[in-house]
Amino acid sequence: MASLSGFIVRSQTGTSSSGENGFSTLNEYMGKGGINVGDELVVLYDHIQYACKRIAALVASPFNSSLSKQSNFAGGDSGSGRDAPKPLDIVSNEIILSSLKNSGKVALMASEEDDAPVWINDDGPFVVVTDPLDGSRNIDASIPTGTIFGIYRRLVELDHLPQEEKATLNSLQSGAKLVAAGYVLYSSATILCTSFGSGTHAFTLDHSTGDFIQTHIDIKIPPRGQIYSVNDARYFDWPEGLRQYIDTVRQGKGRYPKKYSARYICSLVADFHRTLLYGGVAMNPRNHLRLVYEANPLSFLVEQAGGRGSDGKSRILSMQPVKLHQRLPLFLGSLEDMEELESYGDVQQKILIRSNDCYLAAFSRKGPKGSPFSTITILSDLATSSLLKEPFDSFAHQSRFLVLLTSLHSHHWSVIIGVSVKEWPKPGDSMMEPHPE
């Protein structure tokens, strides 16, 4: 029996499975001798732990390089007749889905890797949303990666609806309704950080026993840090407010009189984990990260640790998702740092279309082919042709415009500003590539 922060921890078998070291396992912490989250949630977490141990082993495997990228074989088969290797993020998605099915406690899983939620069990009490392997592009460089997840109660009042409809609506719950959330960091150690609504705690995988051992009890993010985490190579794409904030704090001229340092790994889970422990702000000011799978779970964790998560203007957990893969800017960090950042007003980076993708503006042409075209500004959802000042020149151009709109919408682009086009696109020209991640 061990005492941790004022409560007594016992294993469910009556003895301490963590030996004489005074630490509890995650299962002990969740159980009746700990905070007692309920048997159903304990079972679900047991299966989440198992899935993440398997993913951790894959990430650390010397054979993961073939899994960390798309196969070069067309049609999905190798020349030897064997199936081509799947990308590691897809394998991770399948591992988590299998574990959730085996738990018997999950109604559906909504994943960043899937177009639509997967209905699992009509009687499952929980809904799980997940980014199975964030940062999978970093695997070959041995940069940390992670799994992010959030858990909601199934909305039983929707049970009468068709399966597809109730699956979507269950997945689009506000982050304020989260029962639990967490992430697993795959790095020099495998760390599972989680909250059940009563503080944020971290557990480190003990490879000798297979247990997640509590190593960070009731994490409290410092009220202010001295670190900002952002890709400042995009500095000149930022709005004035964000530039002013970064310029001010790194000169030590902000509300905190010491100079800030930059720390950026380009791995969301790793950057967030460091920020949670040491304070400061981790941010992606682009309209890039997903509200359902990433922003809500991480905002839940940082708030439970005394920090704040926002899109630069509004609290993340107060937002109502409207679509599964909805994207937004994300700022996570210490409360005082976040308040100072948001005081600068305009900190959300606008989405600018690239020079080789500027054909959209051509459809407001005011002169013959080959002449310059006017700059146009497009706002909102890109779904209306009323934005065009002039009629389409031909059906062919109209068709290409609609294809472009579809491409933009499917990649969740919401704002395009100041696009200028100098010549009419030729038939067959490439129209649009997805915005780089």
- pLDDT reported for residue 63: 73
Q: Is the dihedral of CA 76, 140, 265, 190 positive or negative?
A: positive
Sort strands 118-119 and 211-219 into parallel, antiparallel or unpaired: unpaired
Q: Torsion-angle region of residue 51: left (phi > 0), alpha (psi -120 to 50) or beta?
A: alpha
Nearest to 149 by CA among 170, 128, 169: 128
CA separation, residue 83 to residues 74, 76, 78, 227 (Å) = 11, 6, 6, 45
Amino acid in position 329: P
- pLDDT reported for residue 351: 60
Q: Do 53 and 38 form a contact (C-beta atoms < 8 A)? A: no
The tokens of 380 are what?
Answer: 């909102």
Rounded to whole angstroms, the Cα distance separating 271 from 289 reads 14
pTM of the full structure: 0.77
Which residues are catalytically annotated? Answer: 83, 89, 112-113, 131, 133-134, 294
Name the segment(s) of the chain with CATH classification 3.40.190.80.
227-342
- pLDDT reported for residue 221: 99
Using CB atoms within 10 A of its CB, is residue 393 exposed (0-12), middle (13-18) or buried (19+)?
middle
Q: Which residue has the tokens 């009468």?
A: 160
Q: Do 354 and 419 form a contact (C-beta atoms < 8 A)? A: no
Using CB atoms within 10 A of its CB, is residue 154 exposed (0-12), middle (13-18) or buried (19+)?
buried
- pLDDT reported for residue 369: 40
**CATH 3.30.230.30, applies to 227-342:** no
Name the segment(s) of the chain with CATH classification 3.30.540.10.
2-71+84-218
CATH architecture of 2-71+84-218: 2-Layer Sandwich (3.30)
Angle at 410 between CA 404 and CA 413, to 5 degrees: 80
Amino acid in position 98: S
pLDDT tens track, the chain, 437 positions: 333 333 233 333 233 344 445 569 999 999 988 899 999 999 999 999 999 999 999 999 877 666 555 433 334 443 333 445 568 999 999 999 999 999 999 999 999 999 999 999 999 999 999 999 999 888 888 899 999 999 999 999 999 999 999 999 999 999 999 999 999 999 999 999 999 999 999 999 999 999 999 999 999 999 999 999 999 999 999 999 999 999 999 999 999 999 999 999 999 999 999 999 999 999 999 999 999 999 999 999 999 999 999 999 999 999 999 999 999 999 999 999 999 999 999 999 976 444 333 334 333 333 334 333 333 333 333 333 333 333 333 333 333 333 344 334 333 333 333 333 333 344 433 333 333 33
Using CB atoms within 10 A of its CB, is residue 410 exposed (0-12), middle (13-18) or buried (19+)?
exposed
Nearest to 292 by CA among 246, 323, 269: 323
Angle at 57 between CA 55 and CA 61, to 5 degrees: 120
Rounded to whole angstroms, the Cα distance separating 328 from 312 reads 10
Q: Do 250 and 260 form a contact (C-beta atoms < 8 A)? A: yes
Angle at 109 between CA 332 and CA 85, to 5 degrees: 95
Sort strands 281-290 and 227-229 into parallel, antiparallel or unpaired: parallel
Distance of CA 210 to the CA centre of its chain: 27
